[in-house]
Structure 1
Amino acid sequence: MEADEDDLPDIIDVVMEMGRVSQERSTEAPSPLPAVANPRLPAHLDALAGRARDYVEAASSANTRRAYASDWKQFASWCRRQGFSLLPPDPQTVGLYITALASGSALGTASGDKKSVSTIERRLSSLTWNYAQRGQPLDRKDRHIATVMAGIRNKHAAPPRQKEAVLPEDLIAMLETLDRGTLRGLRDRAMLLIGFAGGLRRSEVVGLDVSRDQTEDSSGWIEILDKGMLVRLRGKTGWREVEVGRGSSDASCPVVALQTWLKLARIAHGPLFRRVTGQGKKVGADRLNDQEVARLVKRTALAAGVRGDLPEGERGMMFAGHSLRAGLASSAEVDERYVQKQLGHASAEMTRKYQRRRDRFRVNLTKASGL
C-alpha cells in the first residue's frame, strides 16, 4: 500500500503544487498540505516556495483544513484495514467506502454508526480535495461513485433539521440571564447582540479584531461610528461590509454592549472576544473558539426558557450559533434583499431558508387562481 513519489517536472510545478505528497510508505494519513522536499528546487526559491504554501493554506479556513485532514486520516485507515491502496485514487474503492459509511460498517463492525447523507457528501468532497492536493484528481462523476451516491441520497436523505431561530423577545430574555457585573457577562452580552444584529456566523463573531491588520487569524475588523458600527468581513467569495445600527435603547444596543466590553476589559488591540479567567476578573490574549458562540446561545436559550413548550432534551438540540442568523432573517421586517445582503447570501432562496417563521402563505396562489 505504497504511493509512488510524484514526479514534479519543473520549478513551476513545485511552487504551484505544494500540496503534493513527496512519498508515502504506508496509508497512514499525511498532512493535507504535506511539505515537499525536491532537490530540483534551487535554494534561492525556498522562500518563494514557503510563501506559496502560505497562500495554499489561506485558500481555506483552519476549520476546513482540520476537517479535511481528519476525513483523510479516517479514509486512509479504512483502506489499510481493507487492503486497498490509497494512491492512485480508485473510484471503485471510494464507492465502497461511501457505501460503508451509509451502511454503518466503515469502522469494520456491523454495529458502526451510519453516517448521514450530508456527512457522506462532506467526506466525499474532502477526499476530492485531498486527492487534488496530491496532483491525482478523483473523478466524482465515475459511475462507481456517482451512481452509489445517487442511491444513498434516494434511500437515506431526510429533510434538513434546522436550528430554532432566536427572535428579539427571545434574545432579550437570554440577555437577562447574563451577569452584568462580570467581565464574562459583558463579553457574552456583546457577542449575542452583535451576532444577532449583524447576522454573523459564529466564526465571524470570534474572528473579529479591534482594527485592521492586527492579527494573522482575523476574519475582519470593526469601525464604530456615530450611527452604528461597520463590520468588515473576509468570506469565501471575498470581502463584505455589514452595517450594525444602534439599538432603540442602550440595553439592547449591540454597539453600546461592545463599547462597554472593550472599555472594562481594556482591549485596544487584537481579538475582540477573548477568554475570561481568574474568576471572571482577568482577560486573556487568545481569541475565543467559535464553538463558544454555539455553547453560549444554547446555554442562555435554555436558561431563558425559550421554547419551554418542548421537552428538555429536545430543546437542547434546537439551539446553536445559526440560531442568531436565523433570528435576524425571521424577524427583520424589511425588504428581503437587505436581509440577503446582511447575511452575505448569494441568492434570495438561501435567505428564505433562514426565515424560520415567515408568513409562508402571504401569497396564496390557490385564491389568486380563482378557487
Structure 2
Amino acid sequence: MVHIGDRPLEQWRALGYGRRETVVCFYCWRGIDAQTGTKVPLLARGRIGGLVRPHFAHPAGTAPPGGHSRETVWHINAKHRLARWAATLSNVTQVRLEQWTEHRDRRADVHVVLDDGARLALEAQRELITDELWQARHRDYAAAHVRDVWFMRPDTRIPHVLFAEGIPAETRRGYAGDWKRFTTWCARTGRRALPATGDTLTEYLTHLKGEDKSPATMDRALASIAVAHAAAELPKPSTVGARRVLKGHETERKKSKDPSRRPRRAAATPPVLHKMVAATDTAAAIGRRDVAVLLLGFALAAHRSELRLLDWSDVAEVEEGLAVEIWRPKVNHEGPLGVPYGSNPATCPVRALRAWRQHLIETGRPPAGPLFLRIDRHGRIAHPMHRNGKPIGDPTGRITGEGIGDAVARAAARADLTAPAGLLPDLAPRWSGHSPRRGFATAGKQAGKDFIETGRHGGWTDGSKSLAAYFDQAGIWDETNPLYGIGL
C-alpha cells in the first residue's frame, strides 16, 4: 500500500494508468465498492479544482458510482500518516498496514512492534463508534496481547465508554445497561434520549416507579443519563421533577414495611471472617487464595474492582506488615496503605497473603503479575480458557470481579452464614464482593475509630453519605445510643 506523497508525481505516473499499470486502486482490489481482486490502474494528478493537491484518481468510467466514500478516503490518508509517524520513532522496530491479529479477529489500521516486543494497534476513527463495537474490538485486541491506541478525528463524538476512565467496572456495566433501557423506552414512547428534557426524565422515573424498581436503581439511571450527556458534550437535563418522583418512591417503600424491600447487605466483620476462615480448606489452592481475598479485601476496604487489579508489584512486605499501593478511582490518594499484622494469626491478612504466595512458588509460579488469579473447578491456576477454539478471559489469568464475589459467597456458604432464600426470604442476607468493605466500615464504627480516617483508608470521600449510613447502622447498640445511661 502506497501514498501519493511517498514519491514524486512523475514516478507515480510512470507506474500508473496507460504505462506500467502496477499502481492500482487499493479499495477496488480489497473489494470495497467492487469485487475483491478488481485491478484498476490509477492516474497520478496534481490538482483538484485548481488547487495544488496531489492525489490518485480513477480513469474516466472506472470509478464506482459516486466514488469511494469520504470515510474511506480520509481513513487511508490517516493510516498512512500514522504509519509514517510511527516509523520515525526510535523505539519502533516494525510498522505494517492492515495487519491481522493471530486468530484473524481484528485487522489493525497500523500494526507497530516496539523494541521490547510490545505490539500496538493504531486505529484511526473518523465516525462515531458505539460503546459495544469499541469494547468488542478492545477485547479482541487484548486477547491477542495487542494494545489498541485510538486516534479520533477532532470533531468525532467519542464513545461514552472512553469517558468512563476512573469509574469502576461494575458501575460502567450498570451505566451501560441503564442507558440502553432508557434509549429503548424513549424509542417506544416517541421521546428523545439525547439531549433529553427534564420532563422526559420525570416521565421515565415515573415509569421505573411503576415497575417497582429500587430507589438505588432509579438513582443510577439518572446518573447514567447525566454521564451520557457529559460524554456528548451536552448540558445535563434538569432532574428536579425526577428527584421528586424518586423521593416519593423512597417514602412509599419505607411506609410499606415490606421486608423484601429492605435489602440486607451482609457485612463481613472480624467475627464473621473468623467463621469463614475456619470453614475453609487452606490446603487447597482455591482455599488459600479465597482466604487472602477475604482478609486483604477487608483490610483495604477494597471494592472488588480494586482488589482484582492489584499486582504483586503493588504490595511490599515491610516490618510492620504490608504497604499496598491501591488505585482508588473515586478519590485522590497518594502513597501506600498500611496493613499491619493481625492479632489473630488465623485472620491476619499479612500471613494469609504470604501463604498464597508460598503456594504459588511451590507450584512453580513465581509471584509476579496479578496478585489474585482465577482457579477453575479442577484446581488449575490461571488455566487458559477457550470458546469455539478462540482464547477468552484475561490472558494473564487475573481474577474477575465476579470471581471475588464468588469467593465471598462460597466462604459464607461453607460457614453456614446463608439461609435458603426460598425458605427464609426475609432473613437471608446477601453476601457479595462488597461484604468485606462493608464489614470494615462496621467494625471501624464498633471499635470507635475516627470517621474521617476510616473513610480515607477505605477510599470514601470526606463526608461520604454511604459511609455515614454504615456508621449509623453499626452504632445502634454502642454508647452513642441516647437510651444508655438515662435511667430507664
How does the TM-score come out when normalised to structure 2? Answer: 0.56
Comparing 92-101 with 182-191, which one deviates more in the overlay? Answer: 92-101
Deviations 1:260-287 (A, max 9, x none): 2123222432211111137214334322
Q: Does 1:283 align with 2:382?
A: yes
What corresponds to 1:8 in structure 2? none
Task: Give the match's secondary structure for 2:431.
Answer: coil
1 CA distance for matches of 2:425 and 2:252? Answer: 28
Q: Find the aligned partners of 1:370 and 1:317 in 2 and give their Cα distance.
A: 35
What is the alpha-carbon distance in structure 2 between the residues aligned to residue 302 and residue 152 of structure 1? Answer: 34
Equivalent residue runs for 1:44-193 within 5 Å: 46=151, 56-104=163-211, 114-141=212-239, 143=241, 145-156=242-253, 161-193=263-295
The unaligned stretches of length 5 or more in structure 1 are 1-20, 25-29, 36-44, 105-113, 212-220
Coordinate RMSD, CA, aligned: 3.7
Q: Hey, what's the Cα distance between the residues in 2 that align with 1:247 and 1:146?
A: 45
- Structure 1 residue 330 and structure 2 residue 442: aligned? yes
1:269 maps onto 2:368 in alignment: yes
- Measure the CA separation in 1 of the matches of 2:478 and 2:274: 28
Q: Give the structure 1 partner of residue 346 of structure 2.
A: 251
For residues 365 and 169 of structure 1, do their structure 2 counterparts lie closer, same or farther at Cα, with a shift above 3 Å needed? closer
Alpha-carbon separation, structure 2, partners of 1:189 and 1:228: 17
Structure 1 residue 318: deviation in Å? 3.2
Q: Is the 8 A contact 1:182 1:281 kept in 2?
A: no
SS at match of 2:374: strand
Q: Among residues 399, 404, 416, which one is paired with 1:293 in the alignment?
A: 404
* Cα distance, 1:224–1:334 mapped onto 2, change above 3 Å: farther
2:355 aligned residue: 260
Question: Partner of 2:131 in structure 1?
Answer: 31
Cα 1:34/1:167, change in 2 over 3 Å: closer
Question: What is the identity, as a one-letter code, of the residue corresponding to 1:319?
Answer: W
- Are the counterparts in 1 of residues 294 and 408 from structure 2 also a CA contact under 8 Å? yes
Picking from 201, 209, 214, the partner of 2:303 is 201
Q: How does 1:192-231 map to 2 (within 5 A)?
A: 192-211=294-313, 221-231=314-324
Secondary structure of the structure 1 residue equivalent to 2:325: strand
Higher Rg of the two aligned structures: 2
> What is the number of residues matched between the two proteins?
317
Retained in 1: the 8 A contact 2:275–2:415? yes
Please report the TM-score for the alignment, with normalisation by the length of structure 1.
Answer: 0.72
If asked which structure has higher relative contact order (CA below 8 Å, sep 6+), I would say: 1
Paired position in structure 2 for 1:306: 417
Contact 2:420 2:428 in 1 (8 A): no
> How far apart are the structure 2 equivalents of 1:60 and 1:330?
25
Quote how far apart the aligned CAs of 1:189 are: 1.1
| 8 Å contact from structure 1 (residues 302, 316) kept in 2 | no
AA aligned opposite 2:252: K
Q: SS at 1:288's partner residue?
A: coil
Q: Structure 2 counterpart of 1:233, which letter?
A: I
Aligned counterpart, 2:26: none
Identity percentage of aligned residues = 27
Q: Quick one: structure 1 residues 141 and 244, their matched pair in 2 at CA, closer, same or farther if it must change by over 3 Å?
A: same
Cα 1:361/1:369, change in 2 over 3 Å: same
